[in-house]
Amino acid sequence: MTPLAKGCSSVVVVTAAVIVLFIVGLRSCLSKYDERSAIPPALYFKKDTGAVILSLVKYSKVNSYSESQGFIRKTVSNIYYIQSNDALSGEKISSKEIGDDIKHFPEKILGSDGRHAWIFLNELLAFDPFTLQKVADIEIIEAKNPSLSGMMPLESQYYSFDEKKKAIIFTSNDGRQWQLDSKTFVATPFETAAVEKDEWGNIEKRLAKDLEQRIKRLQDLSPSFTNMKINQDTVNGTWWGLYAAKEIGELSKTISFSPAHNQNQRRQLYTAVYDSAVNGYVDFKDPLLLNASKTTFFLDAGFLADKQTALPVRLTNPSGYLILHRSKIGDEGATIIGRISNTGAIVWQIDLGKIKWIDYMIKDNRLIIFANDNKEVSSSECTLLQIIHLGDGKIKQYDYFKDKIRK
């Protein structure tokens, strides 16, 4: 090779190295603007070897970034993963990339039959929550159901998960409705149940209807602070209420599942006689303020509602409730969750900070919260997983954004 050729070759190598270093340096600079969050809801799975929380995680990789006069402009590439976290410690167990070119939005988790996680990401998909292996897609489902070949829609609006039936309900491209067995992947025709006639005049029917409507509201993602609470409960002929004295005097004599709405009210735990045989009547002639509650107040407080029943979460050993309240008036106040016994004594309580609740569930003596406390990410997405042991109030936290346990 001539000296000139050698020189040219060296220039090419050096130039290539400079370009590579520039690209690596640019990506390193841009990486600090990357975003990572979980798209709710998450799912809970349990077997003999343990329990996991499965999430659909979106990683937004920044390709360009600029800021001018307070406005930020950036372009991103979204990569999607399914991820499992240990349901006790919150530690990340594993994750698997499942897509990066989304044509049909919204991407979302549909539901769980206890064995599979059903997700819509460009198409209907099912995964094993422990191995993260794909077990079903449109190709597999059509092979099980030849009559549906080419009939499976590619938009998420046509798919839903029926919690009672533990089945996927979908509309095929020709407008027919189907029920897909989530275990066998066999589809059968589906008919919508007839709507029952309302009977609001009957107290039991009214209360059942009220609960049904509250359950629907609780199942929505990002429930309001007020809607997550309920202020009264009845157990074995005893009424329990979390109210201020003034609110007690204004209560109806019949049970109501509507939460108290005064955000500036300081409340305490009361008890009274309840006789379900007399049209749901509560004797408020002499409501008893529990001894341990006489000097303990909870701002904007209510019992945390169970999302499956819309009734207060009822705890045992000791008997009591979870209380949701604020650290100070207004939306700037931190969220506080605590456990209170039926004597009014505080068993434990935790200041969770200024978080926005996206979803929550009660599983195996733990309260599992999915929240957002990061302004860099859309408020509808989760950046924080919190796992609280209901016995001692100890909390474990995993940060989706930083992809690590939060101390």
Residue 326 contacts residue 337 (beta carbons within 8 Å)? no
> Which residues lie closer than 8 Å to 115 by C-beta, 6 or more apart?
128, 182, 183
pLDDT at 200: 47
Distance of CA 33 to the CA centre of its chain: 25
CA–CA gap between residue 382 and residue 401 (Å, rounded) = 9
Type and span of the H or E element at 249:
helix 245-250
Residue 236 contacts residue 314 (beta carbons within 8 Å)? no
The pTM assigned to this predicted structure is 0.86
Give the tokens for residue 187. Answer: 């589809």
Per-run averaged pLDDT (10 residues), the chain, 407 residues: 59 51 48 88 94 96 75 81 97 96 86 94 96 97 96 94 92 96 92 59 67 83 90 92 92 85 93 79 82 87 93 94 94 91 93 94 96 90 97 97 94
CA–CA gap between residue 165 and residue 88 (Å, rounded) = 28
Residue 406 contacts residue 399 (beta carbons within 8 Å)? yes
Cα torsion angle, 14, 15, 16, 20, sign: positive
pLDDT at 95: 97
Question: How wide is the angle at C-alpha 247 spanned by C-alphas 245 and 250, nearest 5°?
Answer: 120
pLDDT at 24: 42
Counts of helices then strands in the chain (DSSP H, E): 4, 27
Q: Secondary structure of 48-94 in the HEC alphabet? A: CCEEEEEEEEEEEEEEEEEEECCEEEEEEEEEEEEEEEECCCCCEEE
